[in-house]
Chains A and B, each alone.
Chain A
Amino acid sequence: MKILIAEDDDLMLKTLEFRLKRDGHEVIVTRDGKEALEKIASETPDLVITDIMMPYSSGLEIISAVRHNYTHRLPIIILSGMGQEDVVLEAFQLGADDFITKPFSPNELTVRVRRFDYGKATNS
């Protein structure tokens, strides 16, 4: 799968990239909301993993922008430290497909990502 990650913490970004690449995915890294939206438009990823608190645009804005602008259902996973109930609810209301709270386990992330890998496994 082609996965786009939006995360402003450098170490986390590299960790996610490393792990997902090891799992066999193609990874696009972005460090803020603006870059993420640009790359979503230009690179058409199959899955987006985004944090909430980032410069320029919050992850929630990314969800609503994507849901607003694209007709096909691009899966979005939120990966954030803001695990409070109303934030989670809002994320799902805006159209997120999954919400992983930090601290998270990279092993768990792998499994959750695999859920969205339908139909592509035969091509890789």
Chain B
Amino acid sequence: MSWQIILFDFFTYAILAFSVTLISCYIFIGIYSIDEVRNYLHKNSFTDYRILAASTQTPSISILAPAYNEGANIIENVRSLLSIYYNNMEVIIINDGSKDDSLEKLIAAYDLYKVDFFVNEQIKTKKVRGVYKSRNNVYRKLLVVDKENGGKADALNVGVNIAKNNYVVCIDVDCVLEQDALLKLAKPFLEYPNHRVIATGGVIRIANGCEIEKGRLVKVRLPQQFLPRVQTLEYIRAFLLGRMAWSRLNGLLLISGAFGAFDKEIVIKCGGYDHKTVGEDMELVVRMRRYMEEIRQPYKVAFIPDPLCWTEAPATFKILGRQRNRWTRGTIETLRLHKIMFFNPRYGFLGMVSYPYWFFFEFLAPIIEFVGMAVFLISCPFGLINWGFFLTLLAFIFCFGVLYSIFAILMEVLTYYQYKRQKDILNLILTAVLEPFVFHPFVVWCAIRGNIDFLRKKNSWGEMTRQGLSSPQKPNRK
């Protein structure tokens, strides 16, 4: 037996073991999640959220929406934010030194004037150039902050400094929110008498292809382009089958940067968003969790499975690539910053399960996959491949992947039923079959690029150009 064969066998078994563990985790998380979603839906069926809408006892919320070069859409987006049903709230738009005329447009549209405003700089940020309020009483909940450009994290920190309420909701300004999104997001803060809920996240849905009017979702449609559609599938899997389970185990590490609520006091105690990392949303949640573990206070990070927020997904490989590259670098940076928690019993479930899971199955998985493929390609000319074994292994993983996606689609149909046509479902299933061939390799490649870029210490957001949410794929706007 030559050493190559031994090495290769060892390698194959290692990958097999890894895959089996991964698959088992997915199955467990999937089943656990569904149970929790069902529980939630039953609870929801007789909850009257409107009570919260008018009550003065609700958690006070400050919505923080950083804006950079949003252009003309910003007027409508702000208007839809202001029309959300919630009693105790303020809306803070942070203009992160936009190069276009967003600020002027806002000042004109909302009759804004500059006020003397004391900014309690609890977190260090770039300079605030001015704070604006409206002369019109209808817009009294609106606050617009103009600051020097500093990135999303810095803008959010300014928002945190300025916010007067107890909870901050960080959103992307062009997110389309459901009417009762805030009510649903606020409720977990009130439901745990023995724990402090430090953050709540909701489900992000893909808005591509949907009909959106004046900042409100009119009709849900499956995206017509392949890339957004496959991301829809990805999001269904991640949110419906993943996050609920983690939330139930109190091990949720990630709250979407597009929409999440946080306990302001804890955010400030932790030092706010870290502007040196590109994964500031994940990093903050991990840091907040770590803080609560370190001060030994019972806490929870909650998650709402309802679709609360609709956002535009990248539709081209180029922009998707940048996004995934950034996500990878963000993950690595976060893992690195908090590596003390790795299998550290002092951090409880967070250190013993959540962090290792993230490390092995979110960070390492693409690398292992890539290395596996590379080894395979190299071994080809040496005739080391047991083709029978290898192909069946590949087929095994492929079939499991497709089965898992189909299971996710089934869950989506049984719970939120957003896509109601048989045609759409078949389309999704077809997408699930195509995903391992087209989408998945690209994502893995982006992850590898992310690792390389991280090692090269690149540190930028990249220009995120957006197509604009109001225009669906076909010209059938109202």
Contacts and interface: CB of A to CB of B under 8 A. Distances in A.
A–B contact at 8 Å CB threshold (below) = yes
Interface of A: 34, 53, 55-58, 61, 64, 81-84, 86-87, 93-94
Contacts of A34: 213-214
Interface residues of B, number: 14
A56 B214 contact: yes
Contact of A82 (B50, B214, B216): B50
B56 A64 contact: no
A109 B56 CA distance: 28
Contacts of A56: 213-214, 216
Nearest to A53: B85
Instruction: Label chain A's interface by main secondary structure.
Output: loop
B216 A94 contact: no
Interface in B393-432: none
Given A56-B216, A93-B137, A94-B138, A84 B83 contact: no
B252 to A, nearest CB: 31
Nearest to A87: B54
Nearest to B214: A56
A83 B138 CA distance: 19
B136 to A, nearest CB: 9
Contacts of A83: 54
Nearest to A56: B216
B85 A84 contact: no
Q: Which 5 A-B pairs have the closest CB atoms?
A: A82-B54, A84-B54, A64-B138, A53-B85, A56-B216
Contact of A55 (B54, B56, B138, B216): B216
B249 interface: no
Interface of B: 50, 53-56, 83, 85, 87, 137-138, 179, 213-214, 216
Given A64-B138, A83-B54, 7 more contacts: A34-B213, A58-B85, A82-B50, A84-B54, A84-B87, A94-B137, A94-B138
A94 B216 CA distance: 24
Q: Most chain-B Cβ atoms within 10 A of its Cβ — which of A56, A61, A86, A87?
A: A56
8 contacts: A56-B216, A57-B83, A58-B83, A61-B83, A64-B138, A82-B50, A84-B87, A86-B87
B364 to A, nearest CB: 46
Nearest to A85: B56
Nearest to B49: A53
Contact of A84 (B55, B138, B214): B55
Given A57-B83, A58-B83, A61-B83, A86 B56 contact: yes
Contact of A53 (B53, B213, B214): B53
A12 to B, nearest CB: 14
Q: Most chain-A Cβ atoms within 10 A of its Cβ — which of B54, B56, B83?
A: B54
Contacts of B55: 84
B344 to A, nearest CB: 48
Contacts of B179: 53, 55
Nearest to B217: A55
Contacts of A64: 138
A84 B50 contact: no
Contact of B53 (A55, A57, A82, A86): A82
Contacts of A61: 83, 138
Contacts of B85: 53, 58
Contacts of A87: 54, 87
Contacts of A57: 83
A69 to B, nearest CB: 13
Nearest to A80: B54
Nearest to B215: A56
B210 to A, nearest CB: 15
A64 B87 CA distance: 18
A123 to B, nearest CB: 35
A84 B56 CA distance: 8
Nearest to B139: A64
Contacts of B54: 81-84, 87
A28 to B, nearest CB: 20
A64 B55 CA distance: 22
B148 to A, nearest CB: 34
Nearest to A58: B83
B468 to A, nearest CB: 20
A30 B401 CA distance: 47
Contacts of B137: 93-94
A122 to B, nearest CB: 37
B52 to A, nearest CB: 11
B469 to A, nearest CB: 16
Contacts of A84: 54-56, 87
Contacts of A55: 179, 216
A121 B137 CA distance: 37
A104 B216 CA distance: 30
Nearest to B180: A53
Contacts of A93: 137
Contacts of B214: 34, 56
A78 to B, nearest CB: 13
